Each structure stands twice: as structure tokens, then as C-alpha cells.
A and B are shown apart, each in its own frame.
Chain A
Amino acid sequence: SQKIEQNSEALNIQEGKTATLTCNYTNYSPAYLQWYRQDPGRGPVFLLLIRENEKEKRKERLKVTFDTTLKQSLFHITASQPADSATYLCALAGGGNKLTFGTGTQLKVEL
């Protein structure tokens, strides 16, 4: 059956360090993958979209990689700040552009 796993439920890092979040999937062949940020009680906020023929994408302090051989996407936040604390979700696109979401990783950036 199809499965999406995000590395851990919670990740604590120090301010200024790079946070790396992992999204692994099985029994999927997504045409593209999206990363979102979600704060408590709010809808997800779009961060980055990466397609199957792209290896890497960047936006400001964010970087995402997509390895279709390993069936894995990595999401990096460099120079992390306390304001980056949130839950981060990866979502894989299937037929009909439907998104299936991972369980999320709760990131906490400490001073």
C-alpha cells in the first residue's frame, strides 16, 4: 500500500543551524511534490513545489531536493529562526492532481 513517512514527529534545533526534514514514500510515483508549513489552527501555507525531473529547488533560506530513485525528498531551512517553528508537511501529487499528505514534522527552533 502507499505510504508517506516524515522523519520524526518532532525536531528541535538551535537558532542559526540548518534544519533538515525528510519525506520518504513507498509505492508512489509522484509527478511532483509540495512542501507546506502549518501553524496551529491554520491552513497549510505553500512553500515549494518540485517536479520529478528536478533535483533541487531553492527559495530564500529554503531548499528542497527530490530523489525519485531513493523515493525521498529533503527539506532544508538554513539559518533557522524561532519564527520558523511550525509543523512542516510534505504532500505527494497523484492522479487528478490529488495531494496525499505525510503526517508532518513539528519543528522547534530554540534560542
Chain B
Amino acid sequence: GAVVSQHPSRVICKSGTSVKIECRSLDFQATTMFWYRQFPKQSLMLMATSNEGSKATYEQGVEKDKFLINHASLTLSTLTVTSAHPEDSSFYICSARVPWGPGADTQYFGPGTRLTVL
């Protein structure tokens, strides 16, 4: 299957700082990427849809000014958690959707980023 990478895998930061997480599709071009958050013992919750060359669309209840998303190229989307607070501590996971071909619509996920805000 296709490979999606995320960086960093783990980050610890102080309250009030901003953290940027990168998501890359390594072997296919993804016009659409997605960002999810997962709390312990819970399933994945979609935060936003990232479309290459246009603004991200956010799910209800997700603050767009807090979670800035940029999808500058067909292989890279970034999520910036601005002015992070302890309640933002979570496991953040991105996915990239295969846009065409035999595997169309499949979403491949990155390995996740564990964010801890002190």
C-alpha cells in the first residue's frame, strides 16, 4: 500500500507555544488530505479536510484559528496547533486519499503525532 509519513512522531511543548505537524504522501499525489484527533480509548474524530490549493474545511466544533491547516502541494499538508494548551494534548493523525486509479478513494494514514502540552 501507499505510504504517508508524519513528522514529528512525538512532541512535548509548553502551554502557549505553537506546534506544526507535517503530513506527506510519499508515493502518490493527494488532492485531499484529512486531519484526525484520537483521545485514549476512543476512535478517530475528523477535524478538517485539507484540499490542495484551497482553504481547509473544518468539522463542527473545531476552531479554525486554533488549528491552522495548509495544503501547499499535492504531497504535503501541515497542521499548526496555535497557542497550545494542555487540553490540546492528543494523538493527531493525518490521512491522504488516493484520487484516481485502481485504489481510488482509499485513505492511507500516517503513523500519528503524540502531542503533549505541559
Interface residues on A, range: 20 to 34
Task: Name the B residues within 8 Å of A89 (CB-CB).
Answer: 43-44
Segment with Cβ contacts to B, from A14-22, A63-71, A73-81, A96-104: A96-104
Q: Would A34 and B112 be within 8 Å (CB), given that A43-B93, A44-B44, A104-B43 are in contact?
A: no
Task: Name the B residues within 8 Å of A62 (CB-CB).
Answer: none
Residue in chain B with minimal CB distance to A96: B49
CB distance from B57 to the nearest CB of A (A): 8
CB distance from A66 to the nearest CB of B (A): 14
Q: Would A49 and B105 be within 8 Å (CB), given that A41-B114, A102-B43 are in contact?
A: yes
Task: Name the A residues within 8 Å of B111 (CB-CB).
Answer: 42-43
- A-B pairs with beta carbons under 8 Å apart, 26 shown: A34-B107, A41-B112, A43-B6, A43-B93, A43-B95, A43-B110, A43-B111, A46-B1, A46-B106, A46-B108, A49-B103, A49-B105, A89-B44, A96-B57, A97-B32, A97-B105, A97-B107, A98-B34, A98-B49, A99-B34, A99-B46, A100-B46, A101-B43, A101-B44, A101-B45, A104-B43
Q: Would A99 and B107 be within 8 Å (CB), given that A42-B112, A43-B93, A43-B112 are in contact?
A: yes
Contact of A98 among B1, B46, B93 (CB under 8 A): B46
Task: Name the B residues within 8 Å of A98 (CB-CB).
Answer: 34, 46, 49
**A-B interface, 5 closest residue pairs, ranked by CB to CB distance from nearest:** A43-B109, A43-B112, A101-B43, A44-B109, A43-B93
- The answer to whether B112 touches A97, judged by C-beta atoms less than 8 angstroms apart, is no
Interface string of B92-116 (1 = CB under 8 A from A): 0101010000010111111110100
Add 12 more A-B contacts to A98-B34, A101-B43 (CB < 8 A): A41-B91, A41-B112, A43-B4, A43-B93, A43-B109, A43-B112, A46-B1, A46-B107, A89-B43, A96-B49, A97-B107, A102-B43
Which residue, A36, A46, A101, has most C-beta atoms of chain B within 10 A? Answer: A46
Task: Name the B residues within 8 Å of A86 (CB-CB).
Answer: none
Task: Name the B residues within 8 Å of A11 (CB-CB).
Answer: none
